[in-house]
Chain A
Amino acid sequence: MSTSIIGKLEALHPLPDKDKKLLHAVVGRGRTLKSGEDIVSEGDHTDIVHVIIEGHGYRYKTLADGKRQIIGYLVPGDFCDLYGFLLDKMDHGMAARTQCQIAELTEEHILMLTSRPALARALWWSELVNAAILREWLVNMGRRSPSARVAHILCELLVRLQVVGQATADGFKLELSQAELGDTVGLTTVSVNRALQRLRGSKLIVQAGREITIPDVAALKRFAAFDPSYLHFRQDREDRP
């Protein structure tokens, strides 16, 4: 059950077998959440650290007028709220987009994990990456054209899902509606629809229902000005001269 979590952390920092065994023991089978359920609601306190074992989710904030902004995607292997137990109240909500299997760890578990140097470094990395993704999304939303914004999100999902074995070399299942994509990149559903149409029209993506295929991954990355270095995966760090 801990495969995705080990996959994600090892993509950031190598882990000795002993650390993987500890992680496996701590993660357990997890709890099942139905699609649409909150993992943690905005404003709630949580003593539990949630980790996605299976399924997809997102972080979000809701405005007073009911509009929603999605501020992060949660994919298998992601820690939702690593140090959330420090906060009196969560400053944003997290919801299951699909049915999810969620590991629930305690502060004691986290102390146990972070007392091991490799695991501590891997967890630090994962928090650095969360912040880096947020910075990249800010730039994406503020400074890219609608079709490049959507393309950038697709490139990021491809890479993030690949490290946990949920995407092939050139495709994945997009677990998001057009409205959710719009709430992610600050566009209306109409604009997202046209952006996807443009990407399909220029053969940058092929879409069959929720299945996204990217015939020329380098071309889509170029179009979106996507540089995976902000995800800090070892593979990209080590490929660099």
Chain B
Amino acid sequence: MEFKHVKVATGSADEEGRLVFHEEKLIAVLVRLDDAGHGAVVGQWSLEAGFNGVDSTKPPLFANLEAAERWIGKQLSDFIAL
């Protein structure tokens, strides 16, 4: 998986984002929760959008990008297994 820096307009202080590519296709958009309003989860990464099996109505938050990559990888393999 490849992670590219991007700024995301969320209407909040959460701007620092990553476009996540899998086999050269965009598979997910992650944003770091930097807004103080998030309280205890500030600093964690949030799935803002996901495609082709990475979409979830209630995704977990990720402590770091490695954790996000593991989760996205699992979503992809579960999706392919369907």
Q: How far is the CB of B32 from chain A (nearest CB, A)?
A: 11
One digit per residue, 1 when the CB lies within 8 angstroms of any chain B CB and 0 when it does not, for chain A 54-93 equals 0000000000000100000000000000000000000000
A188 and B38 contact, Cβ closer than 8 Å, known pairs A194-B10, A194-B11: no
Are B46 and A197 neighbours in the complex by a CB distance under 8 Å?
no
A190 touches B57 (CB 8 A): no
Report the separation of the CA atoms of residues A194 and B14 in the bound assembly, to the nearest whole angstrom.
Answer: 10
Given A188-B46, A190-B46, A197–B37 Cβ distance below 8 Å? Answer: yes
User: Please, how many angstroms separate the alpha-carbon atoms of A156 and B35 in the complex?
Assistant: 28
With beta carbons under 8 angstroms apart, the residue of A182, A186, A190, A198 that contacts B38 is A190
Determine how close the nearest CB of chain B comes to the CB of A38; give it in whole angstroms. Answer: 22
Assembly CA distance A157 to B18 (angstroms): 38
Q: Is B20 at the interface (CB under 8 A from chain A)?
A: no
Q: Which residue of A lies closest to B39 (CB)?
A: A193
Chain B residues closer than 8 Å to A194, beta-carbon distance = 10-12, 14, 35
Number of interface residues of A (CB under 8 A): 9
Interface presence of B73 (CB below 8 A)? no
Q: Mark B1-33, 1 if CB is under 8 A from A, else 0.
A: 000000000111010000000000000000001
- Nearest-neighbour CB distance to chain B for A206, whole angstroms, equals 15
CB-CB < 8 A to A190: which residues of B?
14, 33, 38, 46, 61
Across-interface contacts of A67 in B (CB, < 8 A): 57-58
Residues from chain A with Cβ under 8 Å of B58 in the complex: 67, 182, 188
Chain B proximity of A207: nearest CB distance (Å): 11
The interface bits of chain A over 183-211 (1 if a CB of B lies within 8 angstroms of the residue's CB, else 0) are 00010101001100110000000000000
Cβ contacts A to B, 14 pairs, < 8 Å: A67-B57, A67-B58, A186-B57, A188-B46, A188-B59, A190-B38, A193-B35, A193-B38, A194-B11, A194-B12, A194-B35, A197-B35, A197-B37, A198-B11
